[in-house]
Each structure stands twice: as structure tokens, then as C-alpha cells.
Structure 1
Amino acid sequence: MHTRLALILLLAAGSVHAADSQPSGKPMAWPYRLLETAQDAFEQRAPMQAPGATLAFSLPKVPPEQGDNQVELVQGDQRIALPMVSGASFALPRDLGRVDGAATVVANRHFRKGETLHPNIAVRSPGLPDNVRRMGDLRLACAAQMEMAKAEGFKFRAVLAAAGMFGLGVCKELEVTKIDVPQGAYDTVTIEDGARRLVQGTVHASVPRLGDGTWSDEARISYSLVGRSVPQAK
């Protein structure tokens, strides 16, 4: 079950790893309206679940340290550079003026041959250390990712059918260690929520899920390796 949930999320987005060694496929591009679906879901839920947080789109399977990435909004003969939040992630501002239904968001990268993946959604609350994630941010990021995937209609329903998961709340069942995790190795995950603290090694079979209501949106998740904090991609 947990493996299938992780697979669905990966199919909806794309896990990060080096892509340059793979044969090039189609240019990396998405309909503007598709990304706007995720932005709308975020803005609707953020005031309650992650007040003050920001949303960014990470280029799928592009390492964050790869810094010469560019993303543009393209409509007709007009090209507008979108702000890069980090080396491999960008924002979708609301002050772009009138955007028509045929507009696309285009990166100066290519998908690997045979692949077409959505950007990864990252939600960040202000004031957190780079190596700490907030439970409410992860829940909101997953919800926005799923709204974007569902906007694809038939393609997403086919994935659910193949996994035998119609009617299942994917984000509620997803383990916290299956979203926005460090790129490098880690052997321990720590979840802190007020006075409550859970420390688990990677050998543990059961990890709290995003839908576990006993953990509040304010719970903090961090990773470590041999007692040292493992930073997460920005």
C-alpha cells in the first residue's frame, strides 16, 4: 500500500536526481492553467493550514545545485521570465497581467526520453531552518500536487486504476518521509510537536502519515545521519 502511494505521488510529480546523463526527450513545458490549478488550491487552503507560507514549483528530476535554469511564460510571441526561487525552482506570480488559455510555462530543460512529469510542489512557512519541514506545509504541498494531477483528468484516473486506489485519499495515507525529503542519505527522522517527540530510524516499518490527526500542522520534521542534521533542498 505505502509503495503504491509513493508511486502515485512520483508519477504526479518527479523525484529529484541528475538528468543530464539521460537521453533528451520533449522540451520541459506545461500549460499555464495546469500550474494555476495548484496555485489556486494553495491560496484557498494556506490561510488556515499554512499562513504566511509560499509555494514554489521545482523542475522535475533537476538537481537544485544546477544553477543555470530559466523558466518563462510563453503566450503568442510574448515571453515573460518567471522568478527563480532557487537553482531549480520557480514561482508563478499573480501579477503577470492577462494570461490566455493557450499560454505555456517553458523551462530551458528537456524531459528524459519517454517522460512527461509535473513540477514538484514545495510549500515553505517563514522562519524555519533549512533542514526542518512543517507538517502543515507538507500536507498542503501534497494537496496542491494532487489537484494539479487531477486536472489532467483521464491520465491521473488511469494511474489510480492501475494501482487499484480509486476513492482513496492519497495525501491522507502518504507517509511523511515520502515528500520533500533530503536528497542525501539519512538514518533517522525526528518529528516534534510541542512536548511530543518521535525519533525513528529508517529500519522502522511504520512512519506517521500526513493524515494522522494526532500530529498538528505545527509539527516539525527533520532528518539526520549519524547524529548530524541533513539539509533539505531549498
Structure 2
Amino acid sequence: MRLLRCLPLLALTCCAPLHAQQGTDAGAGAVQVVEINGLSDPDERRYRDLVKGMAFFEQYHHLAPQATLRYRILPRLPKVAAQGTVLTLRGANGSTVLPLAPDMSFTVERDSKLYEENATVSSNRKDRSFAWFPEVRTPGLPAHMRRLGDLRLECEVNRGADLARGLKTPSWYALNAASDLCLDRKQGWWLYAERPVFSATLVHGARRQVLFSSHYYGRPLPPLIFSFYDFYPLLMDRTVWIHISDASWPDDTLIELEYMDEAPLASAAH
């Protein structure tokens, strides 16, 4: 019964947690290489899906007018090494190495030829090695703060790019085609923090709301289906479920994160 009650939540969270900056400089510095790929099942995504995500970013940019978009990958399995990871844009007539930032983020340029060729962005790691997600960031925020409108825009980008893995039921595909799952329903979005999270607080002016324990470690979902999702197992302690469709919190609401390695210091201060 619990799984049945969670189906509406699954419709959105299965598509949850990306960052893709637009513009002609997105692929600057790319290097043409000879294609050598020894993996039969690389962790990869379709180039056209990334471009669709960029289109959704433009369509819903009002949610975060100053923000930029990058796509990002994070290791989701203990034995997956971030060091040495290479992303390659593979088309019908060759391949190009994509510059990967220290935070494992990257961008792509729009290219109609690559789009028609159904090119892929492939890693040199096996399938399901990474969580792929869009990361939208408004500049100028403190490192421990995220903006609610940015997360709402991330959700919209993922509606277009369909990057995140999950238990995607037929109802999800039907709802995604017929409505805006990010805002039209009482649903949420996975926030991936930089480190294990102790607590998260919504802040808008004098209004503050500390999120309950049910918002952390994938808890809105039944544990028996955790393995379908990108946060499992390595990113669970960095995952926070944010109720982005709650219109009582405006787009400029901030999410204040307190990390596990900071919690003892905060307790001592009190």
C-alpha cells in the first residue's frame, strides 16, 4: 500500500535530479580525438536530450533570470573514480572530448548536424556509474545557500532532458506529456548538496521552516525502490527533497544548508 501511495511522487521523483550553460562558448576548448572506447555499456546520454534541456531552460528562465545552466555528473557508486573521468561527444563522423570542470560539470554547444546524427555524450565509465543532472545557479549566493527558483528551473530542464534515472512508470510518461509535473502537482525535486547534509531550512524574509527528517536520505520513497534512483547508494547523505511546487514560497526563497561536518561546531556555539 505504501508503494501505491507513493506513485504520484514517483511520477516526478523518477525524473529528478542536472547544469548546461548556453552560448557559443559552451564547447570552447574542445579537442578533436580519435575514437577509442573499450566499454560496451558506457554511461552516456543523448546529445539531443541535452539540447532539449537547454530549450526548456530558455522557456522557463523567468524562474531564475540571472542563473546559468551547466550539466553535471557525480559518482553514485563507491568504486567509481571521479579522477580520470572523460566525457566524449560522439557523432557519426568522429568524436570530441568535452572539457570537464573540477566539479564534474560541463556544457555543450547547439549543433544541428550532431542533433540529426543522434550523437551521444559518453563517459569512460560503465552504465549507471553517475548521477546526471542539470545544475542551475544564480550567482552571488553563499556556498551553503541554494535558491528555490533555481531548483524549480532545474526540474523544468530535466523535464526536457530526461537525464535522471528512476522508476519511470507509464503514469509518469502520461503526466509529463500532459502537464507540468514540476509545478502543477504537489511534488518535489532532489537537491544534491556538496557534502553530507545535517539540516536544510527554507528562508524568505522573516519566515523560516526547517525541513523534517522525511526530506533527507531519499525518505519520501520506499527503500525497496532506492536502487532505481541516482542518489543510491553513494549520494544518499547529500540528497534533500525540496517541495518546489508549494507556491507559498516564492522563487527567491533560499534553502540554507547545514552540513554534517559543521553540525558539532554549531551545537558548541549554542
Same fold (TM over 0.5): yes
Q: Which residue of 1 aligns with 2:244?
A: 210
Q: Quick one: which of 60, 63, 66 aligns to 1:52?
A: 66
CA contact (8 A) 1:190 1:197 kept: yes
Using the TM superposition, give the Cα deviation of residue 82 of structure 1 relative to its aligned residue in structure 2, in angstroms: 2.0
Q: How does 1:185-196 map to 2 (within 5 A)?
A: 185-196=196-207
2:101 matched to 1:85? Answer: yes
CA contact (8 A) 2:60 2:156 kept: no
CA contact (8 A) 2:17 2:190 kept: no
Q: Which residue of 2 aligns with 1:71?
A: 87
Q: 1:179 to 1:65 in 2, by over 3 A?
A: farther
2:176 matched to 1:158? Answer: no
Instruction: Determine helix, strand or coil for the equivalent of 1:147.
Output: helix
Q: 1:107 to 1:6 in 2, by over 3 A?
A: farther
Using the TM superposition, give the Cα deviation of residue 5 of structure 1 relative to its aligned residue in structure 2, in angstroms: 5.3
CA contact (8 A) 1:25 1:111 kept: no
CA contact (8 A) 1:65 1:87 kept: no
Distance 2:59 2:176 in 1: 26
Aligned residues: 209
Instruction: Determine helix, strand or coil for the equivalent of 2:151.
Output: helix
Q: TM-score, normalised by structure 1?
A: 0.70
Structure number with the bigger relative contact order (C-alpha 8 A, sep ≥ 6) is 2
Q: Quick one: which of 122, 125, 142 aligns to 1:109?
A: 125
Using the TM superposition, give the Cα deviation of residue 25 of structure 1 relative to its aligned residue in structure 2, in angstroms: 7.2
Distance 1:208 1:33 in 2: 28
Q: Which is further off, 192-201 or 62-71?
A: 62-71
Distance 1:118 1:36 in 2: 18
CA contact (8 A) 2:75 2:82 kept: no
2:142 matched to 1:126? Answer: no
Identity, % of aligned positions: 26
Q: 1:157 to 1:203 in 2, by over 3 A?
A: closer
Q: Which runs of 5 or more residues in structure 2 are unaligned?
A: 19-38, 221-240, 264-270
Distance 1:65 1:54 in 2: 27
Instruction: Determine helix, strand or coil for the equivalent of 2:41.
Output: strand
Coordinate RMSD, CA, aligned? 4.0
Q: 1:203 to 1:45 in 2, by over 3 A?
A: closer
2:57 matched to 1:42? Answer: yes
Distance 2:144 2:211 in 1: 17
